[in-house]
Amino acid sequence: MAERKATVASRVGLHARPAAIFAEAAGELPLEVTIAMDGEPAEEAMDAASILSLMSLGASHGDVIVLRSEGEGAEDALESLARIIETDHDAAE
């Protein structure tokens, strides 16, 4: 099982726009990816492609989350998803 930690960069946390961007990216992957707050048991992780799961996670700016997946390409997939988490999608352009 591949695992990657990431720090939430969006100032509003993993809500609204950042959650939608992340859920869409996770849903396009050929792998199942889970997300959880750092320190939570792996069995409590939620579906990373579900916007409802992401919103209920309650991840705020600066929180560390854990992404997990298994299968071919899992590490690359988690790396690309971590980059989304570590980008402030609410920053002024």
15 a catalytic residue: yes
Residues of 36-62 as b/e, b for ≥16 C-beta within 10 angstroms?
bbeeeeeeebbbbbbbebbbebebeee
CA distance 44 to 65: 13
CA distance 48 to 36: 9
| Catalytic position from the list 15, 59, 77, 81 | 15
CA distance 30 to 92: 32
Q: Could you give the residue numbers annotated as active site?
A: 15
